[in-house]
Structure 1
Amino acid sequence: MVLTVQDVTKSYSGADGDVPVLRGVSLSLDRGETLALTGESGSGKSTLLHLIGGLDTVDAGSIFIGGREITTLRDTDRAALRRSDVGVIFQQFNLIPSLTVQANIAFQARLAGTFDADHTARLSQALGLTDHSSKYPEALSGGQQQRVAIARTLAARPKLVLADEPTGNLDESTAADVLDQMLALVRETGAALLMVTHSQTVARRMGRHVHLSQGHVV
């Protein structure tokens, strides 16, 4: 399994004490699989994604990526894991304004030591970014910036791709186009994909679907 989540719980401190967000969540994802994670606001979707990505720590339970338990790792080791095995696509794009499209796409792969010029060029071409390679993010549309964020993540060849509402800021037509390209590229690279989404249309495009409600998988 690329990803195994076992009985994970997470709470945050509130004015009236601890507020439970996740209550014993378990799921798994294998190489080449795609999984939609849905749920109402506050159900714990983004929290779970952040825990899997090593951006936060669990209260209890275990998370394994490629057979390695990440819940016992130090911050620096979790950061190293994100560089090598886990790619995260945020809704806000998080591109580096001072870098060109080409440099943004290569950035993560260079950090991970997995940069492959041919692979990066193929990603750029597949996502329609070749003609924009020398531009800076401010010169791109929202859809183009999202394509750059997707290409940057896949350029590092992660085993697991985590996507938090990656098409949420896009119009319907652009969102459908970006999703088509993203799923095709994930299939090509053999990565596992876990996508948080509010869209049932997007969820239906994924191989599997998990719904969170009040911190539980239902």
Structure 2
Amino acid sequence: MKSSLTIMIIDDSILFSEGLEQLLMYNSLVKNVISCHNYEQAAKNLENSIVDIILLDLNFETNEYDGFSIAKLIRERYPKIKIIILTQHAKVDYYETLIEDYNLDGYVDKQLSAKNVFDAIQEVFKGNKYVDKNITKMLLLGKWLKLSKRENEVIELISKGITQKETALELYISPKTVESHLKNLCERFNVKNSVELINTYTNYKKSNRENYEKTTAPFQQRKIE
């Protein structure tokens, strides 16, 4: 496929940016790479260049801005530019802000291989959203962590082979309430029935990420004039 993309890297780690720039130039889709180590450089280059995709870090040493404020501003001023978050601080709550609220295009964990970055670029170039496998696992885990006490009690009993009627008796609730909880959980985890829900829950419990702590809120957004 003919090289056609101009990609901008916004990351204050010069060593990381230079290494990523060299890797990107080996990608057949990439025509040009612009490396920026702060917001000021990025803003100037965006005024003078046509950029297709931005690879943006979240953490910057300065107190004047962070990746959230940069992403929001770029999305407002340049809505057609695709933005992929590339960070080593990937968290579930960040996903909700960046992908759902800001409508960004990708979310990639820096700890994964360069192939994941290339995959993200290719998918975003096609018009799709891209979330890497590590973050996808974290999102699923985050959903389980956000269950109410009653939802946890219901799925725990059902997963042990206890019937809905027996679960209702055990928890002193009606069978319809149990059924309602299961229906809501199936919708939340995008599964067709209780069997798939139980399988998902069982896999979650077997996961080596059971001790994952609830994530904190995103960095406080700082205003950029």
Q: TM-score, with normalisation over the residues of structure 2?
A: 0.32
**Larger helix fraction of residues:** 2
Higher RCO (CA < 8 A, seq sep 6+): 1
**Rg larger in 1 or in 2?**
2
